[in-house]
Amino acid sequence: DPNSTCHACLRLDKYVFLLIYTGPDGEKAWPKKYPFCGGVFQSPIDFHKDILQYDSNLLPLEFIGYNVSSTDQFTLINNGHSVKMYLLPSMYIRNLPFEYTASQLHLHWGNRNKSEGSEHTVSGKHFAAELHIVHYNSEKYPDVTAAMDKADGLAVLAILLEIGSFNPSYEKIFRHFRNVKYKDQMVRVPGFNIRELLPDRLDEYYRYEGSLTTPPCYPSVLWTVFRHPVKISHEQLLALETAMYCTESDDPEPLEMVNNFRNVQEFHERLVFISFREGELYECFYAKKQCTVTCIFKRKSRLYKNDWPSSKLSN
Ligand SMILES: *[C@@H]1O[C@H](CO)[C@@H](O)[C@H](O)[C@H]1NC(C)=O
Ligand SMILES: *[C@@H]1O[C@H](CO)[C@@H](O)[C@H](O)[C@H]1NC(C)=O
């Protein structure tokens, strides 16, 4: 199949557990074996104006235990379709309907010729790559396996990556890629502050109910996709795009691990809630008596109004 020659992970017969994104056994065929992949609430999606709705109740998340001491260690592993780092059970997030404990993080990316490997897109635009930090609902479930098929089981943070300056925090993971070149290889990574992988602004994000982006595609994920991308250098992105293989080290036909992103899914009659106002700030009024602030936003020459109690405003 000439359309699939440069894509990894095509030999379903040999590696039944390999994830396949393109060719005859590609993502369009996932539902045959994994019915949820053809079902409702699927991810990723494209964020475009028609489906976005501002929600003033969306607070910034709080990250507890994210600053991991360098004497602790994470395990980084090549699982044959991504590079995954197991996190510590002492890490969790607050300000969601439940407390969610960290499980692992992993990445999705494109290839050296087409650095458009993010899963979520914004107005149809791909970013270079995407980091997912997976958490499970530890108030209701004992572990991630028990949680992953439950409607309120998972919360995933997504960070869009774009090319910019060198990122020393991502390098704390990326410098170990040469030790996880092949499937099933693993390496220890000294602890560091996982908060450094997130964008500076944590208050602006997209929030919606969706699914795992890999089979079995359970519709169990409360997504938080940060609005502001994080920069990594061109060299760092190239390292991500070229460092790893889906195959084991002794495989005579190595397959490059590239293009491990799922295409955006249908999103009819659903909404994405956003914690930020789209459009330009037009003007604000402070009503002293009621102690509220009203701001007018201008978008596509239409005006939108929003009120806040001034106690909720910080600056
Ligand atoms: C990138 O392009 C080169 C030259 O066209 C080609 O040989 C190579 O297979 C491509 N690599 C990937 C990963 O698509
Ligand atoms: C993270 O922890 C280290 C010590 O383990 C400390 O030096 C550093 O200031 C902490 N960083 C933050 C942002 O709290």
Amino acid at 155: A
Among the bound ligands, the one closest to the CA of 113: 1
Whether 132 and 117 have beta carbons less than 8 Å apart is answered as no
Q: What is the pLDDT of residue 4?
A: 34
> Can you tell me which atom of ligand 1 is nearest the CA of 111?
13
Q: Return the domain boundaries, the chain.
A: 16-274
Substitution site in 10, 22, 109, 113 for ligand 1 pocket (most atoms within 8 Å of beta carbon): 113
Nearest residue by C-alpha to atom 7 in ligand 1: 6
Q: What is the pLDDT of residue 282?
A: 61
Residue 193 CB–ligand 2 contact under 6 Å: yes
Name every residue whose Cβ is closer than 8 Å to that of residue 313 and which is 6 or more positions away in sequence: 293
- The pTM (predicted TM-score) of the whole model is 0.85
Smallest CA-to-CA distance from 83 within 29, 131, 121 is with 131
Nearest residue by C-alpha to atom 10 in ligand 2: 67
The 10 Å CB-count burial string (b at 16+, else e) for 99-118 is bbbbbbbbbbbbbeeebebb
Q: What is the pLDDT of residue 17?
A: 39
Q: What is the pLDDT of residue 3?
A: 37
Residue 6 CB–ligand 1 contact under 6 Å: yes
Substitution site in 4, 5, 6, 21 for ligand 1 pocket (most atoms within 8 Å of beta carbon): 6
Q: What is the pLDDT of residue 110?
A: 95
CA distance 127 to 115: 8
> Can you tell me which atom of ligand 1 is nearest the CA of 114?
14
Q: What is the pLDDT of residue 5?
A: 30
CA distance 171 to 189: 11
Smallest CA-to-CA distance from 96 within 57, 131, 122, 126 is with 57
Residue 258 CB–ligand 1 contact under 6 Å: yes
Residue 69 CB–ligand 2 contact under 6 Å: yes
* Catalytic residue selected from 7, 81, 120, 135: 81
Residue 247 CB–ligand 1 contact under 6 Å: no
Name every residue whose Cβ is closer than 8 Å to that of residue 143 and which is 6 or more positions away in sequence: 136
Q: Does residue 81 carry a catalytic annotation?
A: yes
**Positions in the chain whose pLDDT score sits under 50:** 1-18, 312-315
Q: What is the pLDDT of residue 49?
A: 86
Nearest residue by C-alpha to atom 4 in ligand 2: 69
For domain 16-274, give the fold. Answer: Carbonic Anhydrase II (3.10.200)
